[in-house]
Structure 1
Amino acid sequence: MNNDKDYIKTLLSEHFPFFDNTVKDFICEHGIAEEIKAGTLILRSGKHLKYITLVADGEMKVYREGEDEGEIFLYYLEPGNACAFSLVCASKREISKVMIKAQKDSTIILVPVQAMETLMRSNKSWYRFVVETYRYRFDDLLSAFDSVVFKKLDERLEEYLQTQWQKNDGRPLELTHQQIADDLHSTREVISRLLKKMEQKGMLTIQRNAITMH
């Protein structure tokens, strides 16, 4: 963990430019920066939240764990984001209802829950950030719901891969078929079959744990 104030302020200035100086100074005083390796679970469901996570670099996956220990994908967190579900649980002093895992090597800023409560009461910049986070994630989940209800799985798969391809700057996607199935609420067998069809059409190339889009 790193509590160097200058380092934290640099991260905030680069990835959270919409915070005013009061918020940045407050987070620098109370927050902690941490480097997280890909695959690290930073929040489990059923646990009380001590910190709110601000993503400064990398990518986090927010999901719920099903009764059969399968994953129910919710959304990704990118630089400049915080988890809406965590903000709600923290404000109500409830246990976490979601899991958060690093998809890539990431840098996060941990803000104590008590500090967040102080900011909510006293700072409009932070208040707007929280409200905008709620609104953005509501729109995100509504879009996902519409996609599941109104689009065929092959269309959703193509959109998903194109989105991941763009986010990865055109580099091969290091995704397993099971990971894709979890994100799209499907099964590995179905996803593998659809990917094979896409490969036969020349839309992509399947390699071991990697997919290259054409």
Structure 2
Amino acid sequence: MDIGPYLPFWGELTQAQRDTLSQAVTERFFPQGTLISGGSEDCTGLILPLEGQLRAYLLTDEGKELTLYRLFPGELCLFSASCAMRDIQFDVMVEARQDTRALLLPAPVYRSLMESSVPVSNFTNQLMAGRFSDVMWLMDQILSKKLDSRLAAFLVEEGRLAGTETLSLTHDQIARHLGSAREVVTRMLKYFQSEGLVQLGRGGVRLLDRRGLERLAGDSLREK
């Protein structure tokens, strides 16, 4: 399998390293909702989506889910191979948010490559730093921002990703993304509806006033 186009460091590998990677990588299909990685005890390997979308999230002691970030085609998921990353000391779950076709690289192979290749090690460190920046941004949002602004930002960002004003999301799914309780999200969505920002329906939310949501989101909204 030609995996070179998906790996920025491919051109700096030796032929032997390229052969090892090509022989180790496999292509997998994960139906929507599949739990791909269940944390540090479940070292699946590095995942690179070719089609679809993945979600990385934490599971709190109270059993609530908190979305850290999503991965799109071409973005490498490191947390699904946490056993290869010595600095990861917490459990990150990874699920298929959509039907996803992906490349899977066994963790031991990638760990060996990091130890023998400076470009791979540098790439991994940069990617990990970027992911931790995402996590720190999220923690700041949770600690310093109100739920209404976070919810508004989530709805706007979902609308951008889906390319539509109608989001097929239940209140429970939204609460899981935000690490909140479904009842709290439902109350907030009903308030949004009373303000003319959204329209609620069975199993979905329609965005009526995206600019109003953007104003409410403020700096909780990530840059486009």
Aligned to 2:10: 20
CA deviations on 1:13-63 (whole Å, 9 max, x unpaired) are: 2xx362424476543221001111101111123634152222222211222
1:205 corresponds to which residue? 199
**Cα distance, 1:123–1:212 mapped onto 2, change above 3 Å:** farther
**CA–CA separation in structure 2 for the residues paired with 1:96 and 1:58:** 26
Q: Which moved more, 1:137-146 or 1:163-172?
A: 163-172
Q: 2 CA distance for matches of 1:93 and 1:29?
A: 27
TM-score normalised over the length of structure 1: 0.82
> TM-score with structure 2 length normalisation?
0.79
Q: Is the 8 A contact 1:119 1:126 kept in 2?
A: yes
Match of 2:172 in 1: 178
Question: Aligned partners of 1:152, 1:172: CA distance in 2, in Å?
Answer: 24
Deviation at 1:91, TM superposition (A): 3.3
Instruction: Note the aligned Cα RMSD (angstroms).
Output: 2.6
- State how far apart, in whole Å, the 1-side matches of 2:145 and 2:158 are: 18
- Aligned position for 1:139: 133
**What per-residue deviation string (whole Å, max 9, x for no partner) do you get for residues 118-156 of structure 1?**
221233443233112211111111111111122111011
% identical aligned pairs: 29
Q: Which runs of 5+ in 2 are unaligned?
A: 209-224
Identify if the C-alpha distance between structure 1 residues 87 and 129 changes in structure 2 by more than 3 Å, giving closer, same or farther: farther
Aligned-partner Cα distance in 2 for 1:25–1:166? 39
Deviates more, 1:121-130 or 1:98-107: 121-130
**What is the aligned length?**
204
**Which among 24, 38, 45 is matched to residue 44 of structure 1?**
38
The answer for the alignment partner of 1:115 in structure 2 is 109
